[in-house]
Structure 1
Amino acid sequence: MTYEGVLTKMQTEFSNPIQYYLVFENSFLSLNQLLGKPMEISFVGYQCLHCGKKKKIFRQGFCYDCFMSSAAAGDWIMKPELSTAHLEIEDRDLEYEKRVQLQPHIVYLALSSDVKVGVTRGTQVPTRWIDQGAIQAIPIVEVPNRYLAGITEVALKNHYADKTNWQKMLKMNPETSGPMVDLIKEKASLKYLIPKEVQDYYDLNANDLYEMHFPILSYPSKVNSLNLDKSPNFSGKLSGIKGQYLLFEDGTVFNVRTFEGYVVRITI
């Protein structure tokens, strides 16, 4: 059976284990059902997620022109502390920026490769942690806008990583990796590390610890990243799914999110 369409990040369902779906315009693929089975991924072309044109993808699923102009690719996306909508200051499109920035945001600790600090919109819980391949996560504060979340993350970056070591994350088997960091204790220890403007949003007693269980038959000991530009055709047996990665039996891993905007043909 063959499926063809534009890659976007895998859709997920928070269950035990996490359920994964590849959604195309006219079809979808339930990936959990393919575990232990062979599949083929073939590169067909490009289609910008913003303008829809068949132009080479530059970054985040956008062609170069859209990445440089779209409000959805502003610097504040990756650096929340640069958000200015709360000041009525426009970056690229104030109405869009207000919709995204002026809503509840959560600063959290997550255990993916190591303990990391991050920011996500309240509506993206627990999706954000699933996408990162975190096996546990805990909210630190919920604040009313992206700017406050951003300055909190900046303050905590002095004490925690803010990026995931993707290779370590993919190899980490929670059943064999030894004792895990106690995220509840970590949260309790950091109140006075966060900015004064955010102190009132900190609740020591709100300890909603999330646990993520990923569908993995076997963990890789070594990983080799599949690049569709260099290897437009790949075949392998699916052995697991973690974060936004497909894991194959031979150690090849495919980061679906990296190749958003690529048109692919998947044969199973």
Structure 2
Amino acid sequence: MQYEGVLNKMHTELANPIQYYLVFDQAFIHINQIIYKDIEIQHVGYQCLNCKKEKKIFRQGFCYDCFMKSAAAGDWIMRPELSTAHLDIEDRDLEYEKKVQLQPHIVYLAVASDVKIGVTRKTQVPTRWIDQGASAAIPVVEVPNRYLAGITEVALKKHYTDKTNWRKMVLNQIVSVDLDQEVKKIEALLPEEVHAYFRNTAHNVYELAYPVEQYLTSCTSLNLDKTPNFKGKIIGVKGQYLMFEDGTVFNLRSYEGYKVILNIE
């Protein structure tokens, strides 16, 4: 079977194991159903996810112009403490920023390699954790806007990493930790502004299972710019990474906006 389209992150469905779908404009692939099949990936062009023009991708699936101008690529996306919609202050598009920033957000701990602190909109639970390849996660505090989540994350980054080691994640080299006990240590580390929210947050642990029969013992990352044609047998999926029998792993998030032809045997 042959498919052609623009890469975007895989859609996911919470199940045991998690179900993955690669969606194109005219078709979709249920990735779980092609595990142990050979797939050929051909990079044939680019299409900006924002303006839809066939322009080289700069970052996050956007061409350079869109990355510099679009409200969906503002600095507050990666640094939520920079959010200003709660002050009625515009960054690039106040209407968009209010829609995204002024809604419930979760500050969480996740275990994908080490214990990691992070922020996500409540509507993105548990999708955000799945995308990161977390084996387990727990909400720390639910707050009403992105700014409060951001300043909480900044405070907790003094004690936890905010990055996932992708190699450890795909190799399943993860720390063993009791997240319930970890959260109990956190209240004293929080900004005063969120203490009341912490006490009203349900600290429930989420366990996540991925469609991987056997983890790799070593891995290398597929770079479509250097290797525009690749063929291999998929043996599993974790986070947004396809894992291949030869040790190659392919991070779809890194290649959003890339046009590809996929041949599945």
Give TM class, smaller chain. over 0.9
The answer to whether the Cα contact below 8 Å between 2:142 and 2:201 also exists between their aligned partners in 1 is no
1:112 aligns with 2:108: no
Name 2:239's counterpart in structure 1: 243
Deviation for aligned residue 1:204: 7.5
Deviation for aligned residue 1:217: 2.2
Name 1:195's counterpart in structure 2: 191
Question: CA 1:41 to 1:193, structure 2 compared with 1: closer, same or farther past 3 Å?
Answer: same
Gaps of 5+ in 1: none
**Separation in structure 2 between the aligned mates of residue 28 and residue 192 of structure 1, nearest angstrom:** 47
The answer to whether the Cα contact below 8 Å between 1:36 and 1:217 also exists between their aligned partners in 2 is no
The answer to whether the Cα contact below 8 Å between 1:20 and 1:30 also exists between their aligned partners in 2 is yes
Name 1:96's counterpart in structure 2: 96
Structure 2 counterpart of 1:260, from 245, 251, 256: 256
1:152 aligns with 2:152: yes
**Separation in structure 1 between the aligned mates of residue 199 and residue 133 of structure 2, nearest angstrom:** 26
The answer to whether the Cα contact below 8 Å between 1:188 and 1:204 also exists between their aligned partners in 2 is no
- The one-letter code matched in structure 1 to 2:73 is A
Name 1:209's counterpart in structure 2: 205
Name 2:177's counterpart in structure 1: 181
**Separation in structure 2 between the aligned mates of residue 57 and residue 230 of structure 1, nearest angstrom:** 15
Name 1:49's counterpart in structure 2: 49
- The one-letter code matched in structure 2 to 1:222 is S
- The one-letter code matched in structure 1 to 2:81 is E
**Separation in structure 2 between the aligned mates of residue 180 and residue 166 of structure 1, nearest angstrom:** 17
Deviation for aligned residue 1:205: 7.4
Q: Alignment partner of 1:133: what SS?
A: coil
Deviation for aligned residue 1:110: 0.2
Name 1:25's counterpart in structure 2: 25
The answer to whether the Cα contact below 8 Å between 1:7 and 1:260 also exists between their aligned partners in 2 is yes
1:225 aligns with 2:221: yes
Name 1:75's counterpart in structure 2: 75
**Separation in structure 1 between the aligned mates of residue 66 and residue 90 of structure 2, nearest angstrom:** 17
- The one-letter code matched in structure 1 to 2:188 is Y
| Alignment TM-score, normalising by the size of structure 1 | 0.97
Question: CA 1:209 to 1:221, structure 2 compared with 1: closer, same or farther past 3 Å?
Answer: same
What does the per-residue CA deviation read over 1:207-250, in whole Å, with 9 as the maximum and x for residues that have no partner? 21101100012211111110111100000000110000000000
**Separation in structure 2 between the aligned mates of residue 9 and residue 43 of structure 1, nearest angstrom:** 16
| Alignment TM-score, normalising by the size of structure 2 | 0.98
**Separation in structure 2 between the aligned mates of residue 199 and residue 134 of structure 1, nearest angstrom:** 26
Name 1:132's counterpart in structure 2: 132
**Separation in structure 1 between the aligned mates of residue 88 and residue 61 of structure 2, nearest angstrom:** 28
The answer to whether the Cα contact below 8 Å between 1:40 and 1:235 also exists between their aligned partners in 2 is yes
**Separation in structure 2 between the aligned mates of residue 130 and residue 145 of structure 1, nearest angstrom:** 22
Question: CA 1:204 to 1:144, structure 2 compared with 1: closer, same or farther past 3 Å?
Answer: closer
Deviation for aligned residue 1:123: 0.3
Gaps of 5+ in 2: none
Q: Alignment partner of 2:66: what SS?
A: helix
Runs ≥4 residues deviating over 4 A: none
- The one-letter code matched in structure 2 to 1:46 is Y
- The one-letter code matched in structure 2 to 1:188 is K
Q: Alignment partner of 2:58: what SS?
A: strand
**Separation in structure 2 between the aligned mates of residue 67 and residue 204 of structure 1, nearest angstrom:** 37
Question: CA 1:36 to 1:151, structure 2 compared with 1: closer, same or farther past 3 Å?
Answer: same
What does the per-residue CA deviation read over 1:7-58, in whole Å, with 9 as the maximum and x for residues that have no partner? 0000000000000000000100000011111111110110000000000000
**Separation in structure 2 between the aligned mates of residue 165 and residue 96 of structure 1, nearest angstrom:** 32
- The one-letter code matched in structure 2 to 1:187 is V
Q: What is the RMSD computed on CA atoms of the aligned residues?
A: 1.1
